[in-house]
Amino acid sequence: MTTRDDPDFSPLRLDGEVVHILDQTRLPAEEIWIECRDPEPVADAIRRLAVRGAPAIGVAAAYGLALGAHAWGEDEASLERADALLRATRPTAVNLRWALDQGRRSWLERLEAGEPVAPALFAWAADLHRRDVEINRRMGEHGARLFASGDRVLTHCNAGALATGGYGTALGVVRAAYAAGALSMVWVDETRPLLQGARLTAWELGQLAIPYRLVTDSSAGALMSRDLVDRIVVGADRIAANGDVANKIGTYTLAVLAQRHGVPFYVAAPRSTLDPDTATGADIPIEERAPGEITAVGGAALAPAGADAANFAFDVTPHDLVTAIITEVGVLEPPFDESIARAIALGGSGH
Ligand code: MRU
């Protein structure tokens, strides 16, 4: 199983009433799949980033809810237990809430109608998963049109097939642009502290045979000042109603540098990542993770014993630093409060 052998590669798989999740903490060394028969291992996988990336978290939560109905019972108490467990896993990616809100509605409707819940929820989650891949492919087509022949693009973190139901958001745009002959290579930020760029994006690009070079996060300014970056494309965990973007820590730094150097800064995200209920980036909850993720790697200490560290997992890029937001319904341009509202008003996005 590789992304190159299988263009529909997904980090999640439903097999009967068992959900398999690829453990991304073990990549690139090993490909280990976690077997989930109830919501607990799903919640655990989300919490420890075995499955990560906003859209993939949404798909995992949808399957988690279905497993709740199957393994814990179809009554309302099981719904509340599964929903609370999954909802508390990670705070920033709005796709989690988006998926759980839909799943709740579906569960309660079935209960009211006196119909079986679990089969309906498995079918709903599988459909949400399938639609996420379709959406990403459409996003790729829209985004690829922004690229010009020979472009060198820089990306941060991992917004590829691994971070979604399949195909990827920012990396989906990269794939489509490369297939269209409009891209020559990718600069891959290693993405401290958990190295999603070095471990995951490099893994995916290698499997897809797309040329890339890995760089330290602090290289971005030097690359741009030497005119080595034509475009930046990143994913998002949540986009506020005004277009402010929460994404992996370090994204804001890139956007500031991009403005300084006149490099277009694109965000690729499905409409499920737009959050009309959050007015601005200041209202987006930012996850703070354990200091140990910074002070040690693979059990080896990088800092003196007892060193404290601030481990903010995400930052917020103000909307005025964003050139365009690439979605499945087209490329949104400023003023983002208006283009985002229009994109949501098109309907069918589950909002
Ligand atoms: O902490 P992570 O690895 O879940 O962070 C992921 C990101 O920041 C991605 O860029 C974002 O979720 C978009 S994934 C298509």
* 57-82 per-position pLDDT tens digit: 999 999 999 999 999 999 999 999 99
> What is the SS3 assignment for 193?
coil
Minimum CA distance residue for ligand 1 atom 15: 159
- Residue 22: per-residue pLDDT: 98
| Mean pLDDT score of the chain | 97
Cα(196) to centroid(ligand 1), Å: 9
Residue to mutate (ligand 1; options 237, 317, 326; most atoms within 8 A of CB):
237
**What amino acid is encoded at 323 in this protein?**
T
Please tell me the predicted confidence (pLDDT) of residue 61: 98
- Minimum-distance ligand 1 atom for the alpha carbon of 169: 15
Residues with CB under 6 A from ligand 1: 49, 52-55, 93, 157, 159, 163-164, 169, 196, 234-237, 247-248, 313
Counting atoms of ligand 1 from 1, which one is nearest the CA of 157? 10
**CA 25-215-165 angle, 5° bins:** 40
Just list the catalytic residues: 237
Tell me, what's the pLDDT at 3? Answer: 55
User: Ligand 1 atom 6: the closest Cα is on which residue?
Assistant: 53
For residue 1, what pLDDT band results from cuts at 50, 70 and 90? very low
Inter-CA distances, 65 with 27, 165, 274, Å: 26, 16, 22
Could you give phi then psi for residue 181, rounded to 5 degrees? 75, 20
| Count of alpha carbons within 13 angstroms of residue 167, beta-carbon side | 22
**Contacts of residue 93, Cβ cutoff 8 Å, sequence gap at least 6:** 53, 54, 57, 58, 237, 238, 273
What is residue 7's predicted lDDT score, i.e. its pLDDT? 74
For residue 4, what pLDDT is reported? 52
Ligand 1 center to 235 CA (angstroms): 7
pLDDT of residue 314: 98
Instruction: Return the best residue to mutate from 157, 171, 195, 273 for the ligand 1 pocket (most ligand atoms within 8 A of CB).
Output: 157
Q: How many CA atoms lie within 13 A of 309 on its CB side?
A: 20
Most ligand 1 atoms within 8 A of CB, residue of 136, 248, 286 to mutate? 248
For 19-45, b/e burial (b = at least 16 CB within 10 A) is: bebbbbeebeeeeebbebebbbbbbbb
Model confidence at 350, pLDDT cuts 50, 70, 90, reads: confident
Residue 11 Cα, ligand 1 centroid: separation in angstroms?
14
Which atom of ligand 1 has the smallest separation from the CA of 90? Answer: 4
Exposure string of 258-289, with b = 16+ CB inside 10 Å and e = fewer, is beebebbbbbbbbbbbbbbebeebeebebbeb
pLDDT by residue (tens digit) across 289-330? 999 999 999 889 999 999 999 999 999 999 999 999 999 999
76 CA distance to ligand 1 middle (Å): 32
> 213 CA distance to ligand 1 centroid (A)?
20
Q: Which ligand 1 atom sits nearest the alpha carbon of residue 248?
A: 8
- Could you tell me the distance, in angstroms and rounded to a whole number, from the CA of residue 25 to the centre of ligand 1? 14
On the question of pLDDT at 205 being above 80, the answer is: yes
Closest ligand 1 atom to 314 CA: 8
Nearest CA to ligand 1 atom 10: 235
Per-residue pLDDT at 224 exceeds 50? yes
CA of 172 to the centre of ligand 1 (A): 14
pLDDT of residue 298: 85
* β-pair type (212-215, 296-297): unpaired
CB 21 within 8 A of CB 11: yes
